[in-house]
Chain A
């Protein structure tokens, strides 16, 4: 439902009545075929929201080229007709589809749902109000989103980086970080937006790629590249791309005389104030909750945080304060794409937990008429030639192609359509198939990549097997690329239709493969992530085996006291363990490890070995790896020799036990990044800055006369955690920045420790006398992660953490179907992120477990037993290990042939290309089909 907003949510969890207001689009989506004729004629231009104001759009427009739905809309604020009926109306005149409806009105929908998920997102901070950056006055000061559009091939300058003021090439660009973030004076947004460091580095790198020799400088306070692979990107930006980083918050941008150049004053690393000139200044604007979303939160009746994000618990990160209403994405705190996608899935898991009894209640599988058996029929090919408005018909002589198609072998019916893809034409094609008794179809139109699924559905609706259709791409491959040569384009259209008709003649009905699913889960690792995933699946109604290596559930959380927001971890973990133990659908295997894995998605058989040596085979449909991580043991800062040097986790324990050295200590020094962000461990452990700041606050609160120092490289209290950093500074905790080349030194003086560090603000070395030194040690991947990875055939990354299928879009899936990852096994992260990831893994797993079988595409390799002699050449080339060798017995003689596992086969065709005997073929692409198509191509 587009152009729609929620105006009321009545009812309770499981049964809400939601009122949705749908604004008029003024374009009938059933008729609009997105030809674009309207936009071309529309005389009214306004700023494009999609291009962040860098370009223009018309009053009738489509949001962006790849928009879904790809349907035009009229902006009532800009449209001349809607402001003054009768004044313009060009779009209505040119629309062949008759889709323009100026009389469209607002609609109110009352919808009954079991749960509501709020994912309304964020807006970028608008830097116009605070005039210090010159934004809105000086055209060469732009926001990062605007730069994003300038760098994009689909943007206003097609990816060329020029100055907006004079279109001169940009040679020198500056990025100013924390504009609208970590700033209570100018904008009131005290929190860190969590994403700007990353996008600024990326934009600087991409801009340098676009403009050779471009100088790019990023002015920052702390570089917060705390995510997976982020630190390496930062280092590459410095070393390979040559992006310059200057640690200084810039407080203003000025113009230089009458030029369009921009002046920035800053303090350099030597402590001197300098001024520098730039062609362009990019403001790394923060994320904030828009007013309209605050109104939505009020409508929904949910609590918000002081930073104006949806309030959640760290152990239920997608649950709002109102039962049955969930949240995810940047609405629940500023976050990046992977974390947003994780939360999207996590919200799905939370909903499925609530609505488990109502699963499949309203969702229905589409029904189709019984498929007609055409195997004994003579081919009767129907050819449908699409005009695509004027896209094809203005270049190709479609009438001639129609005439020609009718002369081809087996073609019994030909027709032309203005738009073959429109709904009315679809219905018409179904009618023609039935009337004319057609059993093979050629659609001469656009690309099968976008439209083949649609036409397959059309065939199904007509009672034909969906694989009896072939598309001839006479638009993308023809009218678009040969628009200036209509004669040859028409000839090529005929060739393409002839080839498609020849191939479709040999098409046969193919049956999609179904693989049954064992509706049980296996979760490996009994920490917070593993328990959360197992419990959610169990509450969704699936049986789950939870395998834990030790004799205790709880994992690393057993060593922790408080989450960043102050929730007591032991209490929550205890509750979680109790719930797991009480749920009879969770079968817990303690002191157990995985020793053998067989099978594939839906059908795994895993052997677990108990502490007593006994083994057990578990059949399961999906697997979730949540094996956690370890803590690194430091070899520096006198850790091995002095009892006064401890790790963060050890310190928490001593502090809790009121150990005498800690209790009587006056001087505390925290050292950050011990074992992280250097050498082989070029990643940030993500949680240590927040942990140290929290511990520092505690010891300072106990006795304000204590001296507490935190020696850090970049303070990474990202998101709303910034509050803790602010509080710590207000309390008088002293933060001293050090660089990797000048690491602190700890000298053991017996009764106390001496810590030497170079202070970058005072520009001199400091000596601190410390009673206790606390090391923020790195989180390390488990050393046996690789063994488990090998068993399940899933990958680990260079650091040793499990590697997801796609960093952004499939953050909890493995590339191996049916396997998922959650928690520290994936990358260091705080508890709330582990919980979200665990829920996400459960949601993704449930998409499989909720089905009885998984349906796979019918384009698969098959053996021709008559020709296959078991030479096994195809075994080596198959990238999916889908082919095995078996024995066969013919007339009493034992021979060999291959067997294809259809669940593993992806239909790539390498086996068919390799086979010297034609003993294997791929359905839909048989040798006969391909050769008939080639012969047709050559026959003129």
Chain B
């Protein structure tokens, strides 16, 4: 069975809002996730924003 060779883990490259969402959804549905981030902390560009369009919500 080819399917038996499939590995139940995933690597996400990039810890911004996109990568984090992907990582959370995969971890929550039964996969082991490696989240690889180039800088010292996850968060990406969104963490730099003050407020967001169009709701003016705080980005944090």
| Residues of A near any B CB (own CB < 8 A) | 1-6, 14-16, 18, 20, 25, 49-50, 52, 62-64, 66-71, 73, 111-122, 145, 148-149, 151-153, 155, 159, 198-199, 201-202, 205-206, 227, 229-230, 232-233, 292, 296, 328-331, 336-337, 340-341, 343-345, 347-349, 351-352, 354-355, 357-363, 807-809, 843-844, 846-847, 849-850
Partner of A119, one of B14, B50, B52, B57: B14
The reply to whether A2 and B41 contact each other, CB–CB distance below 8 Å, is yes
Add 13 more A-B contacts to A16-B11, A850-B30 (CB < 8 A). Answer: A1-B34, A6-B13, A64-B47, A68-B42, A152-B49, A198-B54, A206-B51, A229-B55, A337-B17, A343-B18, A355-B31, A358-B6, A807-B54
Chain B residue with the shortest CB-CB distance to A360: B30
B28 CB to nearest A CB, Å: 4
Ordered by A's residue number, 15 sampled pairs between the chains whose C-beta atoms are within 8 Å are A5-B38, A64-B47, A68-B41, A116-B10, A116-B12, A120-B38, A159-B50, A206-B56, A229-B54, A232-B54, A328-B18, A344-B22, A359-B31, A363-B27, A807-B55
**CB-CB < 8 A to B40: which residues of A?**
2-3, 25, 62-63, 67, 71, 73
| A363 & B19 in contact (Cβ 8 Å cutoff) | no
The proximity string for B residues 20-58 relative to A, scoring 1 for CB distances below 8 Å and 0 otherwise, is: 111001111111101111111111111111111111110
Nearest B residue to A22 via CB reads: B36
Instruction: Determine whether the beta carbon of A148 is less than 8 Å from that of B48.
Output: yes
Check B39–A63 contact: CB distance below 8 A: yes
A230 touches B10 (CB 8 A): no
A4 and B17 in contact, given A117-B12, A202-B51 (Cβ under 8 angstroms)? no
Instruction: Please give, as numbers and ranges, the residues of chain B lying within 8 Å of A227 by CB-CB distance.
Output: 54
Q: Are A341 and B18 in contact (CB under 8 A)?
A: yes
Judge whether A114 and B6 touch: CB under 8 Å: yes
Knowing A119-B22, A199-B53, A348-B25, say if A66 contacts B47 (CB, 8 Å).
yes
Pairs A-B, 10 closest by C-beta atoms: A344-B21, A329-B18, A361-B8, A358-B8, A67-B41, A348-B25, A119-B19, A119-B14, A847-B28, A152-B50
Tell me which residues across on chain A come within 8 A of B49, comparing CB atoms: 148, 152
CB-based A-B contact count at 8 angstroms? 243
CB distance from B37 to the nearest CB of A (A): 5
Contact call B11/A359, Cβ cutoff below 8 A: no
Question: In the complex, A361 Cα to B43 Cα: how many Å?
Answer: 28
CB <8 Å contact, B21 and A345: yes
Please judge, given known A-B contacts A1-B37, A359-B8, whether A344 and B17 are in contact too, CB under 8 Å. yes
CA distance A348 to B11 in the complex (A): 11
- Specify which chain B residues have a CB less than 8 angstroms from the CB of A111 in the assembled complex: 9, 11, 34
- Check if A149 sits within 8 Å of B22, measured CB to CB: no
Closest to A66 in B: B60
Contact A362 B13 (CB under 8 A): no
**Residues A151 and B50 in contact, CB atoms below 8 Å apart:** yes
Name the one of A16, A70, A121 contacting B16, with C-beta atoms under 8 angstroms.
A121
Chain A contact residues, majority secondary structure = mixed
Cross-interface CB contact of B39 among A2, A328, A847, cutoff 8 Å: A2
CA distance in complex: A359, B9 (Å): 9
Q: How far apart are the CA atoms of A113 and B47 in the complex, in Å?
A: 28
Q: Which residues of B are found within 8 Å of A361, using beta-carbon distances?
A: 7-8
Report which residue of A50, A70, A227, A336 has the largest number of chain B beta carbons within 10 angstroms of its beta carbon.
Answer: A50
A121 to chain B, nearest CB (A): 5
Instruction: Please report the C-alpha to C-alpha distance between residue A798 and residue B33 in the assembled complex, in whole angstroms.
Output: 39
- The answer to whether A808 and B52 touch (CB under 8 A), given A2-B39, A3-B38, A362-B31, is yes
Nearest A residue (CB) for B44: A121
Within 8 Å by CB of A118, from B14, B38, B45, lies B14
Separation of A355 and B20 alpha carbons in the complex (Å): 19
In Å, the complex CA distance between A341 and B47 comes to 14
From residue B43, how far is it (CB to closest CB) to chain A in Å?
A: 7
What are the residues of chain B within 8 A of A360 when measuring CB–CB? 8, 30
* A15 and B5 contact, CB distance less than 8 A: yes
* Given A117-B19, A201-B53, A206-B50, A844:B25 Cβ within 8 A: yes
Contacts A354-B6, A362-B31, A847-B25 given; does A68 touch B43 at CB 8 Å: yes
**In the complex, how many angstroms separate the beta carbon of B25 from the nearest chain A beta carbon?**
4
Residue of B nearest to A230 (CB): B54
Q: Cα distance A16–B8 when bound, in Å?
A: 11
Provide the residues of chain A in CB contact with B60, threshold 8 Å.
66
Determine which of B6, B32, B57 lies in contact with A357 in the assembled complex, contact meaning CB atoms within 8 Å.
B6
- Which residues on A sit within 8 Å (CB–CB) of B9? 111-114, 362
Please, how many angstroms separate the alpha-carbon atoms of A116 and B52 in the complex?
29
Query: Cβ of B6 and Cβ of A355 under 8 Å apart?
Result: yes
In whole Å, how far is A138's beta carbon from the nearest beta carbon of chain B?
Answer: 23
What's the least CB distance linking B59 to chain A, in Å?
A: 9
Contact in complex: A846, B8 (CB < 8 Å)? no
Specify which of A52, A116, A121 lies most central, judged by the most chain B CB atoms within 10 Å of its CB: A121
A117 adjacent to B10 (CB under 8 Å) = yes
User: Looking at the complex, which one of B6, B7, B14, B27 makes contact with A329 (CB distance below 8 Å)?
Assistant: B14
Assuming the A-B contacts A145-B48, A344-B22, are A117 and B7 also in contact, with contact meaning beta carbons closer than 8 angstroms in the complex?
Answer: no
Structural contact, B47 and A345, CB atoms closer than 8 A: no
Min CB gap A721→B, angstroms: 20
Q: A808 touching B8 by the CB < 8 A rule?
A: no
The residue among A153, A227, A340, A807 with the most chain B CB atoms within 10 A of its own CB is A340
Contact present for B53 and A114 (CB under 8 Å) = no
* Bound-complex Cα distance A355 to B6 (A): 6
Which of chain B's residues have a CB closer than 8 A to the CB of A112?
A: 7, 9
Cα–Cα, bound, A800→B2 (Å) = 47
Residues of chain B lying within 8 A (CB to CB) of residue A357: 3-4, 6
* C-alpha spacing A16/B11, complex, angstroms: 10
Given A63-B39, A117-B22, A355:B52 Cβ within 8 A: no
Q: A64-B43, A344-B19 are in contact. Are A233 and B53 (CB under 8 A)?
A: yes
Within the complex, the shortest CB–CB distance from B17 to chain A, in Å, comes to 6
Nearest Cβ on chain A to B9's Cβ, whole angstroms: 5
Chain B residues with CB under 8 Å of A145's CB are 48
A352 lies within 8 A of B53 (CB):
no
Inter-chain contact A337/B46, CB cutoff 8 Å = yes
> Within 8 Å CB of A292, what residues of B?
38
Residues on A with beta carbons closer than 8 Å to the beta carbon of B34: 1, 20, 111, 113
CA distance A292 to B38 in the complex (A): 10
Task: Evaluate whether A4 and B53 lie within 8 angstroms (CB atoms) in the complex, with A111-B11, A113-B11, A119-B12 already known.
Answer: no
Pairwise interchain contact A69-B41, C-beta atoms closer than 8 A = yes
Most chain B CB within 10 A, of A2, A67, A344, A349, is at A344
Given A337-B17, A808-B55, A843-B25, A359 and B30 contact (CB-CB distance below 8 Å): yes
In angstroms, Cα B31 to Cα A354, docked, is 12
Q: Are A14 and B22 in contact (CB under 8 A)?
A: no
Chain A: minimal CB distance from B22 (Å): 4
With a cutoff of 8 Å between Cβ atoms, the chain A residues found around residue B4 in the complex are 357
CB-based nearest B residue for A18: B11
Q: Contact at A64–B54, with CB atoms within 8 Å?
A: no
Judge whether B29 and A352 touch: CB under 8 Å: yes
Question: What residues on A are CB-neighbors of B52 within 8 Å?
Answer: 202, 337, 808
How long is the Cα–Cα vector from A487 to B31 in the complex, in angstroms? 52
For B43, what are the chain A residues with a Cβ–Cβ distance below 8 Å?
A: 63-64, 66-68
Q: How far is the CA of A40 from the CA of B43 in the complex (A)?
A: 24
For A18, the chain B residues whose CB sits under 8 A away are 11
Say yes or no: A4-B37 contact (C-beta < 8 A), given A145-B48, A348-B29. Answer: yes
Q: Given A14-B6, A15-B5, A114-B9, A359–B29 Cβ distance below 8 Å?
A: yes
Hey, which chain B residues are within 8 Å of A336, CB to CB? 53
The answer for the CA separation of A229 and B57 in the assembled complex, in Å, is 14
Contact A121 B8 (CB under 8 A): no
How far does the alpha carbon of A296 sit from the alpha carbon of B37 in the complex, in Å? 13
Give the docked Cα–Cα distance between A359 and B26 (Å).
10
Cα separation A344 to B33 with both chains bound (whole Å): 14
A348-B29, A351-B31 known; A122 and B45 CB under 8 Å?
Answer: yes
How far, in whole Å, are A202 and B50 apart by their CA atoms in the complex?
10
A14-B5, A64-B41, A359-B31 as given contacts; A52 in contact with B48, CB under 8 Å: yes
Question: Complex: how many Å from CA A6 to CA B19?
Answer: 15
Task: List the A side residues contacting B35 at CB < 8 Å.
Answer: 1
